[in-house]
Amino acid sequence: MVFSSIIFMFYFLPATLVGYFLCGFSRTLQNIWLLLASLLFYAWGEPLFVLVMLGSITMNHIFGVMVDRWRLNKSRARMIICLTVIFNIGILFVYKYLGFVIENINLLIGRDLLHFQNPGLPLGISFFTFQALSYVIDVYRQRAKVEKNPFYVGLYIAFFPALVAGPIVRFADIADQLRNRRMSWDLFSSGCARFTLGVGKKIIIANSLAAVADRVFNLSASGNHVVMVPAMLAWLGLLAYTMQIYFDFSSYSDMAIGLGRMFGFSLKENFNYPYISLSVTEFWRRWHISLSSWFREYVYIPLGGSRPRVESGIGQPARRNLKVVRNLFVVWLLTGIWHGADWSFIIWGMWYFIFILFERVTKLTERNIPAVVSHIYLLMVVIIGWVFFRSASMHDAFVYLSNLFNFNHNGFYSELAMVFIKENWLYLSLGVLLSAPLDREFGRMLQAGTMGRWGRAFNMVYPLFLTTVYVISVTYLVKGNYKPFIYFNF
C-alpha cells in the first residue's frame, strides 16, 4: 500500500484516524490501534514479509534488553552489539545483496557454480533495519533508554508513516512521544496540510515528470545503434529525472511528517531544498538528512571521523589524512551499496566520494568563489550523478552519458524534446520553482504579517487551495497516473 493511492487516501487513512480518535480516552489503546494499523499497512502487499519485520522487532528488543543488562561488562556488551549488527545486516544481505554477490561470483569464475532463488525484496527493509540498529546502538551508548516493553519497540519500528521510505527515525527522538504525545487541532490541521502538499508534489509533479524521464531513459537503454537520442532530448530526460526523484522522495517525507502530526508525532525534516546548495558537502546536509546523519553517527564517527587518533611520530599528519580518506571511502561505498545491489549504485557512491574528498582537500567551501559558479558546479555533479542512479546497468549509464555530450554523434536538436517541453512545461516550471525555498519564505512573510491584506486574503483561501490540490491529485489518480515511490526499492 502506498500513500498516493485511492485505497490509502479514501479507505485506510480515514478508518485508521476514526479508530484512533475513538480510542482517545486511552493512550495505550491508541498505540495498540496504531501498531495493528501499521502491520496491516505493511502486510497489505507483503503478507509473508511482515514476518521478517516481526522477527526484526523481536530480536532487536531482546538485543536492547541484553546490552542494557550487561552494560558494565564491556566485552559481553560489545559481543551483543556485534550480534546485533550481524543479525540486522545479515537479513539485509540475504534479501537485498546475496543474489548480486552470487551473480558476480558466477561471472568471475565463468560458469553458474552457485544458484540462488531470489525471495523478493521486503519493502522498506533498508529503512526499518537501520532504525532497529540505531535503537540497540543508542541503548549501548546510553543515548536512549532501553524499552523493556516489546510493544513500544514494535510501534517504533513499524510506525506506518515512516515505515517504507523514511525518514529514518532515532528512538531517542520519538521515545517520549510513544507514551506522552499531546494532540491538538493545530497540529492535526498542519499535518493534513503537509500531507496534502506531499500528495500534490508526488502525483502532479513527480509522476508527470516520470513519464518524460522514463521515455527518454528507455530510448537510450535501447542502444545507440537502434535509437539515436539527440543531446537535447537526453538533457531534457535527465532534467526531468532530477526533478522527479526530488519531488518523489521529498513528497513521501512530506506525507510521512504530515501523517505523523495527525497522530500527534513530530518527525524530523528529511529535505531542506538540496538543489540550492553551493557544494556537494552542503548538498548532502540537505538531501536525505536522516540517512546522512545515520552514516555520520554510526559509521563515520566510530571510524574516527575527520580527526582519527594515530600514534605520535614521524608521518603522523600523513597517516591521519589517509585515515580520513579511508573513513570517507567506507561511508560513500556503503551509501552506494545501501541504495541498491548493482554496480551502478556503487559507482554513484564513489562519484560522491571523489567530489567530497576534492572539496575537503582543496577547502573549496572556504574559497571566495562566486555563488553562481558554485551552484552550477553543484548542479552538474548532482545531475550527472543521477545518470548512474537511474540507469539499469553500467552499460546503459555510459550510453546515456555519451548521448548527453554527443559522443555517439547523435546530434543536438530533437523534435521529440520540443514536444515534451510543450506538453510538460508547467510541470518543469513548477519543479524548478518549488526546488527553491520560495514557499518557505512566503510562509515566513505570512506568519510575520508583512504582506498586509494580501496575506490575510491568502490565509482565507488557503483551505480552498489545498482542497483544489487534493481534488486535482485524485483526478490524476483516477485517470491512472500512478507511479510507485522510487525509494520503495530500497
Q: What is the pLDDT of residues 232-258, one digit of tens each?
A: 999 999 999 999 999 999 999 999 999
Angle 197-199-205 from CA coordinates, rounded to 5°:
90
Query: Nine-digit cell at 403?
Result: 548521448
Question: What is the maximum alpha-carbon separation in the chain?
Answer: 74
Residue 314 has pLDDT above 60, yes or no: no
Predicted TM-score (pTM) above 0.85: yes
Query: Nine-digit cell at 365?
Result: 567551501
Model pLDDT, residue 227: 60
Task: Categorize the per-residue pLDDT at 226 as very low, low, confident or very high, splitting at 50, 70 and 90.
Answer: very low
DSSP 124-156: THHHHHHHHHHHHHHHHHTSS-----HHHHHHH
Tell which wins on pLDDT, 382 or 452.
Answer: 382
Residue 85 has pLDDT above 50, yes or no: yes
Model pLDDT, residue 312: 47
Model pLDDT, residue 166: 72
| Residues 112-150: tens digit of each pLDDT | 777 777 778 888 889 999 999 999 999 999 999 999 999
Burial class (CB in 10 A: 0-12, 13-18, 19+), 197: buried
Model pLDDT, residue 483: 61
| Residues 355-365: tens digit of each pLDDT | 999 999 998 88
User: Is the Cβ–Cβ distance between 364 and 279 less than 8 Å?
Assistant: yes
The answer for 137, left when phi > 0, alpha when psi is -120 to 50, beta otherwise, is alpha
Of 74-78, 341-345, 439-443, the one with minimum mean pLDDT is 439-443
Q: What is the mean pLDDT of the chain?
A: 88
Residue 173 has pLDDT above 80, yes or no: yes
Model pLDDT, residue 481: 58
Task: Categorize the per-residue pLDDT at 411 as very low, low, confident or very high, splitting at 50, 70 and 90.
Answer: confident
Mapping DSSP to helix (H, G, I), strand (E, B) and coil, where does residue 111 land?
Answer: coil
Residue 1 has pLDDT above 80, yes or no: no
User: Is the Cβ–Cβ distance between 343 and 352 less than 8 Å?
Assistant: no
DSSP 388-454: HHHSSSHHHHHHHHHHHTTTT---S--HHHHHHHHHHHHHHHHHHHHTTTHHHHHHHHHHHTTTHHH
Query: Domain residue spans in the chain?
Result: 6-181, 187-436
Residue 185 has pLDDT above 70, yes or no: yes
Model pLDDT, residue 484: 58
Model pLDDT, residue 79: 94
Q: Which residues of 36-51 are buried (b: 16+ CB within 10 A; e: fewer)?
A: ebbbebbbeebeebbe
Q: Which residues are catalytic?
A: 339
| Residue position matching grid coordinates 512566503 | 442
| Residues 326-335: tens digit of each pLDDT | 999 999 999 9
Burial class (CB in 10 A: 0-12, 13-18, 19+), 273: middle
